[in-house]
Amino acid sequence: MLRLEVAVPAHLADAVVDSLKYSYAISHLSRLRGAAVRPEGDLIIVDVAREAVNDIISHLEALDVDHEGTLQLRQVPAWISKAGLRAEQEAPGAGADAVVWLEVVSRAYDDSELNFTFLSFMTMATLLAGIAIILDSQVLTVGAMVLGPEFGPIAALGVALVRRRFGLLRHALRSLAIGFAIAIAVTLVVSLMGRGLGWVHERDIVVRPATAFIYSPDRWSVVVALIAAAAGVLSITSAKSGGLSGVFISVTTIPAAGNLALAAAFGNWHEMAGSALQLVINIGCMGLAGWVTLLVQQWVWSRVDSSSMAPRVSGQQQRHSGE
């Protein structure tokens, strides 16, 4: 069950309430007259089955609520309601399968925003990956994978293509390009400092059987990236997010960036080329898999009978219409 809060000017409030009050998918509808200050008007609170929320939002957008008012959506963590149970039972499909596009697009913008926090995590994760390579530690390599925030903008690429949000596409590509460039540059500088101080030697990055896979991409690199990205997109678009941790520790995007910086510090062109290829394969395949997964989800959900998604009219409303 999701809660939708709508703040609208008074002249739109009646139309919004009329469009919602007879919907089969709604279990609760409240109207607080004059409660909204900006925009000045009414606050309307709706509890709606997750499966039908896209349709409800589309009806509100048709009333121009998104331009003249405000829509806010959030998860209801726990609820007891016979009407709510009936709404979920009557809504087509399963709530866990429903893709709430307002939620997905908003998250894509947030996760791919180029800010200090994003750059800090990218840099720290890449530095940690560099240390993992020097120590030939798989545990630290996994830690660097989990710490890296790169999956957010990679997933946003697929969202942008499916929803035709080309501003989001530019936004995500910019964050990835600048984020990896800064992270690799900082790791390169630190690696050169470590080399100058005698803390790091070339043998540290050449003889390391536990982490050699980072710069040795093969067909399995493609398979893993495709499966991991598909699972990650399913986690962020559905009501179940448990699969994200598995995504973070499946692909070697951040370790490849760390190895690229280390190899550059020692002029090891073979490892540089392998790491760069691994990085490109991971980003490209993850972006492709995310896009295809979202396309499939959109197609599957569109197969639901559109007539069953439209607000149903009760006998009471039919009597009013007849009058």
Read off the pLDDT of residues 22-53 as tens digits, 9 standing for 90 and up. 777 788 888 999 888 888 889 999 888 877 78
Which is higher by pLDDT, 96 or 173?
173
- Dist. CA 147–CA 259, nearest whole Å: 16
Q: What integer pLDDT is reported at residue 58 of this predicted model?
A: 84
Confidence grade of residue 241 (pLDDT, cut at 50, 70, 90): low
**Positive or negative: CA dihedral 95, 97, 100, 103:** positive
- Dist. CA 82–CA 63, nearest whole Å: 30
Burial 13-52 (b: 16+ CB within 10 A, else e): beebbebbebbbbbbbbebeeeebeeeebbbbebbbbbbb
Q: What integer pLDDT is reported at residue 317 of this predicted model?
A: 43
Residues 105 and 66 sit within 8 Å (Cβ to Cβ)? no
Which is higher by pLDDT, 1 or 257?
257
- Dist. CA 304–CA 16, nearest whole Å: 25
Residue 276, token pair as written in the block: 């760069």
Which is higher by pLDDT, 313 or 111?
111
Residue 156: HSE in the Cβ half-sphere, 13 Å Cα cutoff: 27
Q: What integer pLDDT is reported at residue 73 of this predicted model?
A: 87
- The closest of 301, 306, 139 to 234, measured between CA atoms, is 301
- Among the listed ranges 20-34, 78-92, 152-166, 186-200, which one has the minimum average pLDDT value? 78-92
**What average pLDDT does the segment 302-307 reach?**
54
- Dist. CA 40–CA 46, nearest whole Å: 19
- Dist. CA 169–CA 174, nearest whole Å: 9
> What's the one-letter identity of residue 244?
L
Burial-class residue 275 by CB neighbours within 10 Å (0-12, 13-18, 19+): buried
- The closest of 247, 173, 4 to 102, measured between CA atoms, is 4
Q: What integer pLDDT is reported at residue 237 of this predicted model?
A: 78
SS3 content of the chain, % helix, strand, coil (to 5): 65, 10, 20
Which is higher by pLDDT, 27 or 244?
27
3-state secondary structure of 30: strand
**What average pLDDT does the segment 10-32 reach?**
85
Does the pTM of the predicted model rise above 0.85?
A: no
3-state secondary structure of 311: coil
- Dist. CA 258–CA 103, nearest whole Å: 33
Percentage of the chain lying above the pLDDT 90 cut = 25
- Dist. CA 241–CA 275, nearest whole Å: 30
Widest Cα–Cα separation across the chain: 90
- The closest of 310, 148, 133 to 213, measured between CA atoms, is 133
Q: Answer whether residue 204 shows pLDDT above 80.
A: no
Helix (H) or strand (E) holding 13: helix 10-20
Instruction: Supply the DSSP symbol for 50.
Output: G
3-state secondary structure of 71: strand
